[in-house]
Amino acid sequence: MARPGFCALERLAWWLVFRQGIVPFEAMAKQLDYRTIREIFTRFHASEPEPKGELEHVNVYTLVVAVALSAQATDAGVNKATRGLFAVADTPQKMLDLGEEAVIEHIKTIGLFRNKAKNVIKLSRKLVDEFNGEVPNSRAALQSLPGVGRKTANVVLNMWWGQPAQAVDTHIFRVGNRSGIAPGKDVDAVERAVEDHVPADFQLHAHHWLILHGRYICVARKPKCANCIIRDLCQFEDKTQ
Ligand code: SF4
């Protein structure tokens, strides 16, 4: 909401901080060296050997739908909506049988629900018509589905097909830049930095370790640096006490 006297830049900063929970213009730390990053992921691994995503799903199709619905929404909010939806439609054909209006009813608590419902129906149609009702396991094929971008495709490749694909969301972007694990000016640069600098044996779970760290410890407005297991290695200049 604009206030008199707000310039465009201030309005953008306000929107990012208060509506999206993002700290804008995050200071970009210097890229950490290999040994330090290895130590960081060794600690993440010791604290949570098998990190898991928090989006509920019952098969790969419902994972695709859940991830597509999670854009600009919280996992908790998506889970609340999809429990009922997936109980009645856990395959592309069942989703088509359910129809767009019923999908809207299930997901109307999620932001952009009308557009997302339209895409859920379209991607289900494409899966039935062109992929025999099966979810493909290649990035290009996944990204050909309506409503499925690179980030959604990477999450599915990582969580379901066990590929070390890095999907950079707001949490990973923040942690990568603050700590120096994967600094970059945009999500593509951070994705490349994670791929280039995280040791191969930690690549598969890097996505979830970084998301969970950003969601619960390195939070946007006031990071919990006192409770952070990588505090001594992190490059962030404004650590909290
Ligand atoms: S020390 Fe603070 S800023 Fe650095 S990763 Fe931990 S919580 Fe984030």
Is residue 70 within 8 Å of 113, Cβ to Cβ? no
Domain ends where: 103, 138, 159? 159
For residue 13, tell me if it sits in a domain: no
Q: Is the CB of 228 under 6 A from ligand 1?
A: yes
For residue 137, tell me if it sits in a domain: yes
Provide the b/e sequence for 38-72 (b: ≥16 CB within 10 Å).
Answer: bebbeebeeeeeebebebbbeebbbbbbbbbbbbe
Count up the domains in the chain and report the number. Answer: 2
Q: Provide the domain limits for residue 109.
A: 60-159
Q: Do 152 and 171 belong to one domain? A: no
Q: At CB < 8 A and 24+ separation, what contacts does 185-190 make?
A: 185/28, 187/151
For residue 1, tell me if it sits in a domain: no
Catalytic residue among 75, 129, 169, 222: 169
Q: What's the gap in Å between 236 CA and the centre of ligand 1?
A: 7
Residue 94 CB neighbours (<10 A): 13
For residue 18, tell me if it sits in a domain: no
Per-residue pLDDT in tens (0 to 9) along the chain, 241 residues: 333 344 555 455 545 543 444 545 456 899 999 999 999 999 999 999 999 999 999 999 999 999 999 988 999 999 999 999 999 999 999 999 999 999 999 999 999 999 999 999 999 999 999 999 999 999 999 999 999 999 999 999 999 999 999 999 999 999 999 999 999 999 999 999 999 999 999 999 999 999 999 999 999 999 999 999 999 999 999 999 8
Is residue 82 within 8 Å of 62, Cβ to Cβ? yes
- The residue to mutate among 172, 179, 181, having the most atoms of ligand 1 within 8 angstroms of its beta carbon, is 179
Q: Which pLDDT value is given to residue 23? A: 47
For residue 175, tell me if it sits in a domain: yes
For residue 140, tell me if it sits in a domain: yes
Q: Do 132 and 69 belong to one domain? A: yes
Q: Do 135 and 185 belong to one domain? A: no
**Cα–Cα distance, 194 to 169 (Å, whole number):** 12
Q: Which pLDDT value is given to residue 72? A: 87
**Cα–Cα distance, 207 to 194 (Å, whole number):** 9
User: What are the angstrom distances between the C-alpha of 149 and each of 30, 111, 144?
Assistant: 29, 17, 8
Q: Do 32 and 73 belong to one domain? A: no
Q: Which pLDDT value is given to residue 17? A: 44
User: Which atom of ligand 1 is nearest the CA belonging to 234?
Assistant: 4
**Cα–Cα distance, 194 to 165 (Å, whole number):** 10
Is residue 167 within 8 Å of 139, Cβ to Cβ? no
Q: Do 69 and 145 belong to one domain? A: yes
